[in-house]
Amino acid sequence: MGRVGKGIKCSVVGCDGEAVRSLPVDKVTEAGLKVSGSRRAYLCREHYKDFKKATKRERLLDKWRYRSQ
């Protein structure tokens, strides 16, 4: 069982929600979210939704790039 399953809190500054996903800190900061932590960022449902919205174009381009090979 990982940290999310044990009930860790969201890593975004000022948020106290329960985390649902764990992502690398560098990707989350590139998306524009301010997180505290060194290696992994734990995001609640609402901040994960914000992360997905911010990286939608990037994920689409990666999908096209790897599909054509």
Dihedral sign for Cα atoms in the order 31, 35, 39, 41: negative
CA atoms of 45 and 49, how far apart (whole Å):
6
Burial degree of 42 (CB within 10 A; 0-12, 13-18, 19+): buried
Beta-ladder partners of 40: 24
pLDDT tens profile 3-43 = 999 999 999 999 999 999 999 999 999 999 999 988 999 99
Model pTM score: 0.87
**What is the rounded CA–CA span in Å between residue 6 and residue 27?**
23
